[in-house]
Amino acid sequence: MKEIDETNFSEFIRQPVSVLIFSSPWCTSCKSISSRLEALSRNLENRVAFGICDISVSPLTPARMQVLSVPAVIVFENGKEVKRLQGPASEAALSKVLESYR
């Protein structure tokens, strides 16, 4: 997963399909979702870009996206938000969100 911050956020979300997780190192649910997305990304690597934004390092990006808690997973299509998962999501929930991009 690519690390996303204020300098590359706009470019990252302009891709045809991108998935961005907002997380923090102290968040155990974030670590769990990150590993689930890593596993799912292997099947979608040519169709979907995956990124991670550490809210403690890059606070402006989550503020811009109105992310109020972590973990948060946002799916973008051509720069527009199309889906958001807030809180700990199961692998099934993440798979369901991404199934149309397979």
Domain 2-96: which CATH class? alpha beta
Tokens of 33: 């979702």
What pTM did the predictor assign?
A: 0.91
Q: Tell me the per-residue pLDDT of 18-59, one tens digit each, with 9 for 90 and over.
A: 999 999 999 999 898 888 888 888 888 788 999 999 999 999
pLDDT of residue 43: 81
Q: CA–CA distance from 5 to each of 17, 86, 89, 97, 101 (Å)?
A: 18, 19, 23, 23, 24
pLDDT of residue 14: 95
Q: Tell me the per-residue pLDDT of 68-91, one tens digit each, with 9 for 90 and over.
A: 999 999 999 999 999 999 988 888
**In the chain, where the domains are located:** 2-96
Residue 43 parent element (H or E): helix 28-44
90 versus 60: the higher-pLDDT residue is: 60
